[in-house]
Chains A and B, each alone.
Chain A
Amino acid sequence: GENVEQHPSTLSVQEGDSAVIKCTYSDSASNYFPWYKQELGKGPQLIIDIRSNVGEKKDQRIAVTLNKTAKHFSLHITETQPEDSAVYFCAAPYQGGSEKLVFGKGTKLTVNP
Chain B
Amino acid sequence: GAVVSQHPSRVICKSGTSVKIECRSLDFQATTMFWYRQFPKQSLMLMATSNEGSKATYEQGVEKDKFLINHASLTLSTLTVTSAHPEDSSFYICSARTGAETQYFGPGTRLLVL
Known contacts A42-B108, A43-B108; is-contact A89 B102 (Cβ 8 Å): no
Cross-chain contact B46 with A106 (CB below 8 angstroms): no
Q: Say if the beta carbon of B44 comes within 8 Å of chain A.
A: yes
Known contacts A89-B44, A99-B49, A100-B46; is-contact A44 B105 (Cβ 8 Å): yes
Q: Restricting to A21-61, which residues have a CB under 8 Å from any CB of B?
A: 32, 34, 36, 41-46, 49
Q: Say if the beta carbon of B43 comes within 8 Å of chain A.
A: yes
Interface size on A, residues (CB 8 A): 19
Cross-chain contact B102 with A106 (CB below 8 angstroms): no
Q: Restricting to B62-82, which residues have a CB under 8 Å from any CB of A?
A: none
Q: Which residues of A contact B4 (CB under 8 A)?
A: 43
Cross-chain contact A44 with B44 (CB below 8 angstroms): yes
Q: Say if the beta carbon of B24 comes within 8 Å of chain A.
A: no
Q: Which residues of A contact B101 (CB under 8 A)?
A: 32, 34, 49, 93, 99
Q: Which of B42, B44, B46, B49 has the most CB of A within 10 A?
A: B44
Neighbour of B104 across the interface among A41, A46, A89, A103, CB < 8 A: A46
Neighbour of B93 across the interface among A44, A49, A99, A104, CB < 8 A: A44
Q: Which residues of B contact A63 (CB under 8 A)?
A: none
A interface residues (Cβ-Cβ under 8 A, vs B): 32, 34, 36, 41-46, 49, 89, 93, 99-101, 103-106
10 A-B pairs with least C-beta separation: A43-B105, A32-B101, A43-B108, A43-B107, A44-B105, A103-B43, A105-B43, A103-B44, A43-B93, A43-B106
Known: A42-B108, A103-B44. 8 other contacts (CB 8 A): A32-B101, A34-B101, A43-B93, A49-B101, A49-B102, A89-B44, A100-B46, A106-B43
B interface residues (Cβ-Cβ under 8 A, vs A): 4, 6, 32, 34, 42-44, 46, 49, 93, 97, 101-108, 110
21 A–B contacts from the bound complex (CB under 8 Å): A34-B102, A34-B103, A41-B108, A43-B4, A43-B106, A43-B108, A44-B44, A44-B105, A45-B105, A46-B102, A46-B104, A49-B101, A89-B43, A99-B101, A100-B46, A101-B46, A103-B43, A103-B44, A104-B43, A105-B42, A106-B43
